[in-house]
A and B are shown apart, each in its own frame.
Chain A
Amino acid sequence: MKPRQKRMALIGAGVALLVGAVALVLNTFNDNMVFFYSPTQVAAKEAPQGRTFRIGGMVQEGSLQRGEDGTSVKFVVTDTAHTLTVAYKGALPDLFKEGKGVVAQGKLDESGLFTASEVLAKHDENYMPPEAAHALEQAKKAQSTVVQ
């Protein structure tokens, strides 16, 4: 083996070991790497108990209720399998919308109500002009009427 090939093998082996080590570490910390838990994970009690964590999902259509004081809101977060009711007091981000993604930070109480201290809008990876979005919505509506 020439010194050059030796160095190449050494670097290759080093990188391979490193990748393996990092993979193991990331795998171990997998639970701590998630930014939020889904309602299904909360239902399965995978979310941390008794301390602050984030939940994420879609705001269920028609679930947003505004309180009489004007700043407190209640809405339902869904991942289509499970749902979770969230109570929040404060200004919602501009992109907060029913049917769109949301991430809320807060605590879960015994009755299953999630009281949020911070609500963030989660944007999806779809970019389209308003006309296309409108057309898409129309098509969806047409399809759902056909199914019914």
Chain B
Amino acid sequence: MSETQSSAARAPSSGFSLFYYASPQTFFPLAGKLLWPCWIAAALLTLAGLYIGFFVAPTDATQGDSYRIIFIHVPAAWMSMVVYLAMAFWCAVGLVFNTRLSFMMATALAPTGAIWAFVALWTGALWGKPTWGTYWVWDARLTSELILFFLYCGYMALQAAIDDPRRADRAGALIAIVGAVNVPIIYFSVKWWNTLHQGASVSLTAAPTMATTMLTGMLVMALAAWAYTIGAALVRVRAIMIERERSTDWVRKLVSNGDSKA
């Protein structure tokens, strides 16, 4: 990567307040300030969610205690889809407006999304054995979620394989945007086709088919997953900003001041 290129890519002076934080220079301190609230919220919500999930929520009538997988499995599966859509969104914004920060956001989100997809698949397999009688079946829901995991891996691998970050961003953006088609397929797979995976217990259009305390535990865990995801993405995007903008004045100033929190 040539130094002239990255300094030439400096954002024009930010006029609108809406786009004020669109430049790495101004977003860096904001991201730093948001970090601690995210971590604290994630920790507290996880503790509360796990407590409700393991001590307050009752045993399920048919599944016994193995149903308690939902307190991790469902939030992980939700986040794997949400993070992918967020990633595709930032990639699209980056392609249209040529903003550097958008691509950095997408890059920062990918590993967390991949972890969520993996956790969803893995916990699902562990639950599937005692419940269904098998770890894995090739039904539409499981297969499309596996494809999502591969899309994350493909995005990260492609980006890492191209040295020029601008070209890497554009190539990765293509995977991210094309792959976004898979997300509604995952979500609606249990409706469109016969699957071994059960239908949605919680949806925007119908009353949840779960006991209230079970639902509460699951939603608290989902909020914890949100907080963790945002925190993890911010840490990563700060690191990416410093790495990519290392030849710019603001990073030099930051490093020489030795104040990474500024």
What count of chain B residues pass the 8 Å CB interface test?
40
Within the assembled complex, what's the spacing in Å between the Cα atoms of A133 and B67? 15
- Please measure, in the bound complex, the distance between the C-alpha atom of A16 and the C-alpha atom of B62, giving whole angstroms: 43
Q: List 17 A-B contacts (CB under 8 A).
A: A7-B96, A22-B185, A33-B140, A33-B192, A35-B138, A35-B194, A93-B131, A95-B132, A118-B133, A120-B132, A120-B134, A124-B198, A125-B209, A126-B209, A126-B210, A129-B58, A129-B211
Dominant SS among interface residues on chain B:
loop
CB within 8 Å of A: which B163-214 residues: 177-178, 180-181, 185, 192-196, 198-201, 209-211, 214
Query: Does A38 sit at the interface, judged by CB under 8 A?
Result: yes
Expressed in whole angstroms, the minimum distance between the Cβ of B253 and any Cβ of chain A is 31
A56 interface residue, CB < 8 Å from B?
Answer: yes
Contact with B along A130-143 (1 / 0, CB 8 A): 11111000000000
Other than A4-B97, A15-B181, A36-B194, give 16 A-B pairs with Cβ distance below 8 A.
A7-B96, A8-B96, A14-B177, A15-B180, A18-B181, A36-B196, A56-B194, A94-B130, A120-B134, A121-B131, A123-B198, A125-B199, A127-B201, A127-B209, A127-B211, A128-B61
Interface status of A97 (Cβ within 8 A of chain B): yes
Contact, CB under 8 Å: A130 / B59: yes
Cross-chain contact A93 with B132 (CB below 8 angstroms): yes
Which among A30, A38, A95, A97 has the greatest number of chain B C-beta atoms within 10 A?
A95
Q: List A81-121 residues whose CB lies under 8 Å from chain B.
A: 92-97, 100, 103, 118-121
Shortest C-beta distance, A121 to chain B (Å), equals: 6
Residues of B within 8 A of A97 (CB): 62
Residues of A in contact, count (CB < 8 Å): 43
SS class of chain A's interface: helix, strand, loop or mixed? mixed
B3, CB-defined interface residue at 8 Å? no
> Residues on A close to B: CB < 8 A?
4, 7-8, 11, 14-15, 18-19, 22, 26, 30, 33-38, 56, 92-97, 100, 103, 118-134
Residues of B whose CB lies within 8 Å of any CB of A are: 58-63, 67, 70, 92, 95-98, 130-134, 137-140, 177-178, 180-181, 185, 192-196, 198-201, 209-211, 214
Question: Which residues of the partner chain A approach B131 to less than 8 Å between Cβ atoms?
Answer: 93-95, 121, 123
* Shortest Cβ gap from B87 to chain A (Å): 14
Task: List B contacts of A56 (CB < 8 A).
Answer: 194, 196
**Interchain CA distance A103-B185 in the complex, whole Å:** 22
Across the interface, do A120 and B60 meet the contact criterion of CB distance under 8 Å? no
CB distance from A32 to the nearest CB of B (A): 10
Give Cα distance in the complex from A56 to B92, angstroms.
Answer: 41
Contacts of A100 in B (CB 8 A): 62
CA distance A30 to B185 in the complex (A): 13
Q: Which of B96, B98, B177, B210 meets A127, CB within 8 Å?
A: B210
Max count, chain A CB within 10 A of own CB: residue among B96, B133, B180, B214: B133
B172 CB, nearest partner CB in chain A, Å? 14
The 3 tightest CB contacts between A and B, nearest first, are A93-B133, A133-B61, A129-B58
Minimum distance in angstroms from A136 CB to a CB of chain B: 9
Question: How close is A137's CB to chain B, nearest CB, in angstroms?
Answer: 9
Q: Which residues of chain B are within 8 angstroms of A93 by Cβ–Cβ distance?
A: 130-133
Name which residue of chain B comes closest to A130, CB basis: B61
Measured in the bound complex, the distance between the Cα atoms of B181 and A11 in whole Å is 13
B1 to chain A, nearest CB (A): 24
Residues of B with C-beta under 8 A to A118:
133-134
